[in-house]
């Protein structure tokens, strides 16, 4: 049985004996969002512009509230007022709307 100066040496030595490492290029495929379109006017929302990220849902009895969530991307105040009108006309006992204004970042690499 070998003696080691410290636990660190013990683990370092152990790793070298059982595992060999080499640098190899790897290719990965990643699903990346490249284009976001306004749900109202169908115009593309350009990267780094601000837009509205909207979730509309309800929790009426008998419905699966997870399935009731509708997510919308909206480009401008004009389109937001149209979607808010749709929300007001939406017939439901309970309804929720969550509006977040944020910067659009498509590419996350
Ligand atoms: Zn729009």
CA dist., res. 70 & res. 96, Å (int): 10
Residue 92, CB-side half-sphere exposure with 13 Å CA sphere = 19
CA of 10 to the centre of ligand 1 (A): 62
CA of 72 to the centre of ligand 1 (A): 11
The overall average pLDDT reported for the chain is 84
CA of 81 to the centre of ligand 1 (A): 10
- Answer whether 58's CB lies under 8 Å from 95's CB: yes
Residue 85 pLDDT greater than 80, yes or no? yes
Residue 72, CB-side half-sphere exposure with 13 Å CA sphere = 26
- CB atoms near residue 52 (< 10 Å): 22
Which tens digits make up the pLDDT trace of 12-30? 665 556 788 899 999 999 8
- Two tokens at 49? 């512009």
List the shell of residues around ion ligand 1, using CB closer than 5 Å: 38, 40-41, 75, 79
101 - beta bridge partners?
A: 52
pLDDT at 90: 82
């Amino acid at each position: 049985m070998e003696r080691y100066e410290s636990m660190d040496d013990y683990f370092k030595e152990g790793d070298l004996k059982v595992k060999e490492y080499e640098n190899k290029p790897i290719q990965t495929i990643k699903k990346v969002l490249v284009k976001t379109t306004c749900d109202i006017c169908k115009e593309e929302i350009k990267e780094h512009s601000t837009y509205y990220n909207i979730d509309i849902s309800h929790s009426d009895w008998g419905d699966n509230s997870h399935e009731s969530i509708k997510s919308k991307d909206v480009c401008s105040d004009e389109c937001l007022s149209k979607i808010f009108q749709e929300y007001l006309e939406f017939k439901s006992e309970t309804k929720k709307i969550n509006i977040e204004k944020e910067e659009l970042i498509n590419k996350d690499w």
